[in-house]
Structure 1
Amino acid sequence: MAERVALIDYGAGNLHSVHNALKAAGAPDIAVSADPDIVRNADRIVLPGVGAFAACMGGLAAIPGMIDALEARVLGDRVPFLGICVGMQLLATRGVEHGVHAGLGWIPGEVRLIEAAPGIKVPHMGWNDVVPEAGAPLIAHGEAYFLHSYHFVAADESHVAARTDHGGPVTAAVARDNIIGVQFHPEKSQAYGLDLLRRFLDWSWP
């Protein structure tokens, strides 16, 4: 299991709940930090996110050296990375919430408003099925808690790790190499979420 988990504090995540969930899942050492040096020495990295795409990306970019440290550790050293909710959406090439805004670009795609069928409410809020794709890492079939109005449209379908249904298919998780992002909130998903976090803490790459 991971020795040190860096939980990124950039003013846009439900840090207390995510920290408690990681602890309950068995993480022995969790550093809630905005320090790029902590990121550079972490065995696992978790990027939460609540709010609008542009505000979250702006908050991350406002921390001197943070994006460089993330790219060095995640893309360079290939340590396991988990993005949660907007933290997952920031992996995209861009988001189109209140204008067009560049994301991290680690998984090609675009974050767009959910276009649900008539009678289906947006935001997508509450418990819903998570259906993993064959061979997807970490993701199991089950129910998780969602709260979002925008969703990740991957440029390459092979990067979609799981889907849910909300008036049509909606990306529930994306994955690429050592990077995984989930649209749902594992910290609010009870046993299902804790099981996912346990698998993430045990995940080795390659």
Structure 2
Amino acid sequence: MMKFCTKSLLLICSTLGLLCACSEKSTTEPNFQKCSDTSKIKGYQADFGGYKEGKTIPFKHSDGYLFSFAVTDRDNFIDDACQKHLNTTLESAYPIYSISLSAETATFYYNEDDKLNQTITVKFGQYIFSLRNPERLEKELALIIADGKDSLAYVRDSSYIEKMEINGVAYADVAVAKGRKYEQPYKNDYQTNTVESSAKLYYQTKKGILKIEMEDGSYIAINEEDD
């Protein structure tokens, strides 16, 4: 009887030890995918505008005066949640304008279509725009035409123009984002409440921001005619 108890006790201890070992192993091995080894974003968000630090882009105001935007900052990083970020700043010396572009994307994609869903958030003064991939907009428009239906979601969000002329230069595959503006009075940089606005931003993947129309009818636009 003593031998049976001893054997049973040893078996129980052995089993508990195995369970403890398995438990320790499971807590030390992560059950999630490792973050990317690079912070670089690829695709539409990275290609947008060909913006590189130090680059200058000629612009023209609707009042007629000429100025240039310079890419003063371009920063890549990965946050604690494994999200990739790309922040870009365009600034002009006079008149003093500043445009900030921020892109955020997941480290991993489930399929190629996910890459077409990338967006870029643009802030210009009191206005904020969400720029969707023009290639995605073109495909959505083709589906709407094929179905013979109007899409309120499409019209409300943004639109697509096959060709338009800006300051004497023709641009193809132009997307148009409808803007919103910060609720007034604008209090601080951390304010997030926005309301609808009639402002619009015209853009293209290759050239980036082409034109920004403000609510009062004035605008600034890329000026490559004499470039």
Normalising by the smaller structure, the TM-score range is: 0.3 to 0.5
Asked which structure has the greater CA Rg, the reply is: 2
TM-score where L is the length of structure 2:
0.30
TM-score of the superposed pair, with normalisation by structure 1:
0.32
Q: Between Structure 1 and Structure 2, which shows a larger proportion of strand residues? A: 2
